[in-house]
Structure 1
Amino acid sequence: MTKVLIVLTNTTRYYGTTDATGLWLGEATEFAEEMHQADIAVDYMSPLGGFVPLDPRGMKYVDEAIMSWYETEDFQKRALCNSLTPNAINPKDYAAIYFAGGHGVMWDFPENADLQKITLAIADNGGWLTSVCHGIAGLLNVKDAAGKYLVAGKKITGFTTAEEVLAGKKKVVPFLNETLARQHGANFQKKRAYSEFAVEDGHLITGQNPFSARAVAKKLINELL
């Protein structure tokens, strides 16, 4: 059976503050639901394994579909309470990796060597590298064996600087996805703030913001099936 690895954050707060953050719920549930409907299995992993916190701001943008998936025993146990650790993962088991967002990932995705190793292994096996919103932070620093950034020369997207300004978080995040993407040679694409947008280039599929998770999922499904 085809399987996809979903990566979630363990970060509970914006560093240096007491403001809570974590996973943007819909970015995980909407993607997972699309995979389920296509009969594609998923596993959930986080940098530390175990507990995955939810970004409280993301709970303001839920609908019936998001809540229904959130309330399932499977999601609560496997994603939010007992996410897998990187050392439990065999990259050969996965046709794709998907980095979900929420501001928390800005701290525990970018420099995590274990995540980078798994990502590169999936890429080397001909797999797909996908993300949505801030999840692009999990791909921006990954280099191939020759030391070249995987995003270099590729069309990608993620949470934009304009969206960061509108979210009121530009001054508290450790870097800006749009800026770092361009610094690493990516051809950063974007559309109107907070509108659905996903871009595919080679084996990279990325979505701009929380409203793009299903678009990323559908592009990936089209390639896997």
Structure 2
Amino acid sequence: MKKVLIVETNITRYQNTKEPTGLWLGEAAEFVDEMNKAGIEVDFVSPKGGFVPLDPRSMKYTDESIMSIYETPDFVQRALVNTLRPDQVNPEDYAAIYYTGGHGVMWDFPDNPELQKLALAIYDQGGYITSVCHGIAGLLNIKDHQGNYLINGKTITGFTRSEEILAGKLSIVPFLNQKVAEAQGAKFSKKRFYKEYAVKDGHLLTGQNPFSVRAVAKLLLNELK
């Protein structure tokens, strides 16, 4: 079975602030846990390759399953210290690409042509494009070979305005996921803030917030059976 490619951020701070951000640990670790259980291999890529910072707030929302992955030397080395660069990735090796969240992705996911090319190649060969929470930023600007937004006409979800307010980041984020998604022609679906919610539309699988990681993973695993 082909592998799954996990995309993570290199951004260490909210832009124009001193406040740290980065990968939301659980959004990588819980997904890896589900893939491990299913015997599916994963690789990790980031826009620049190499080091991936952790959002310090994410360490407050861990459980034993998250910590057990985080304490694995292989995870630390491949997911946090030495991620692949996009030019080191062969899309033919992957059945799906999964965009993790954490606020950092809002600055280095949306306009990265290398990641977009990888995602579209995986999609074109019958693979899946998946995301959770702010990871939707990686999907927003992908265009197909006709120049149309890939999410146009598709039902997707991601971190909501209400959730940004509760997180205290509404005045800091560079855009709102729903607003951009709808501007690109997507149908943005959501549930109550911080409730597990994942949606499938064809080969796009998306989750609303950090509590939706395993739901997204299970949607993907069901497709890969």
Q: TM-score, normalised by structure 1?
A: 0.99
What do the CA deviations read for 1:54-110 (whole angstroms, capped 9, x no partner)?
001111110111011001001000000000000000011100000000000000000
In the other structure, the counterpart of 1:217 is 217
- RMSD across aligned C-alpha pairs, in angstroms? 0.5
In the other structure, the counterpart of 2:41 is 41
What do the CA deviations read for 1:192-219 (whole angstroms, capped 9, x no partner)?
1001000000000000000000000000
SS where residue 83 of structure 1 aligns?
coil
In the other structure, the counterpart of 1:173 is 173
SS where residue 5 of structure 1 aligns?
strand
Distance 1:57 1:79 in 2: 18
Distance 1:112 1:197 in 2: 27
* Counterpart residue type for residue 222 of structure 1: N
Q: Which runs of 5+ in 2 are unaligned?
A: none
Q: Which runs of 5+ in 1 are unaligned?
A: none
What do the CA deviations read for 1:134-158 (whole angstroms, capped 9, x no partner)?
0000001000011111111011000
Distance 2:12 2:120 in 1: 27
Is the aligned partner of 1:27 residue 2:27? yes
Distance 2:201 2:31 in 1: 19
Distance 2:196 2:65 in 1: 17
In the other structure, the counterpart of 1:159 is 159
Flag as ranges the 4+ runs of structure 1 deviating above 2 A: none
Distance 1:139 1:103 in 2: 15
* Counterpart residue type for residue 169 of structure 1: K
In the other structure, the counterpart of 1:150 is 150
In the other structure, the counterpart of 1:186 is 186
Identity of aligned residues (%): 68
In the other structure, the counterpart of 1:17 is 17
Q: TM-score, normalised by structure 2?
A: 0.99
Distance 1:2 1:218 in 2: 16
